[in-house]
Amino acid sequence: MSEPILFPRERRFPRVPRRRLVEVVVPVYNEERVLERSIRRLHAYLQAELPYDFVITIADNASTDRTWDVATRLALPGVRAVHLDEKGRGRALRRVWSASAADVVAYMDVDLSTDLRGFLPLVMPLLSGHSDLAIGSRLARGARTVRGPKREIISRCYNLLLRTVMRARFSDAQCGFKAARTEIVQALLPAVEDEEWFFDTELLLLAERVGLRVHEVPVDWTDDPDSRVDIVRTALDDLRGMARVRRRIRQGRFSAVVPSPRASVGLAA
């Protein structure tokens, strides 16, 4: 009788999970004075505090000063720059987010008015799969905001309109401190029409309409007196954007097909 064939015991190798990647976009227009200082500060924070890989993308919105030169000369690992021929914060975010290979995409204003300590609470629910989008809120309980009465009144009235007229459930549409799961935002982008300041609001309204989860993080925020934002013009553009979205809703054209929620999302170190 022949000897039985003995097979070696199966070798089991430990599963090494892929490291997660977060891409942070900083849209800029004529910010040659503050760009390098802000990007170095952001880079130092992410290196010290974010337990994941990251990329910082400077999106130059057709600047007419030396912003592009400053952006391309920043010799920091994980920092890159893209140039757009037209202005528009929404246009810049669409360009970078639609091509991103990161797990989570985010953006923040170049003045870093929002305290960076809010960034980890912003992205962690997305990396864990708990939420689909996340926003910094200056109006949520626990937030601390320093700004003039004009901006405060306009902001509160605008967000009140969103809640009463558009039935929005989020508290602060305009804070320049947001993030989303990349596969989710890439599914939403084709249905978002705005290319400028209303882009954020339209994206959030669409996300809520298709049943996605929006996580809010109360943030500390200090107004930048040198901001390039024309508050009154932006508010009027936002009102026109709200009217356009209401028309799309009535016409049944405000929707998107998004990926089904995943059963679980591992947190790789």
**Which residues have a catalytic role annotated?**
200
Indicate the angle between helix axes 199-209 and 231-250, nearest 10 degrees: 30
Q: Pick from 34, 78, 71, 38: which is nearest to 55 by CA?
A: 78
Half-sphere exposure of 180 (CA within 13 A, CB side): 24
Alpha-carbon 131 to chain mean position: 13
| Alpha helices, DSSP H, located in the chain | 35-49, 67-72, 89-99, 119-127, 149-165, 182-188, 199-209, 231-250
Half-sphere exposure of 204 (CA within 13 A, CB side): 30
| Assigned token pair, 6 | 């003995």
| Assigned token pair, 38 | 């802000």
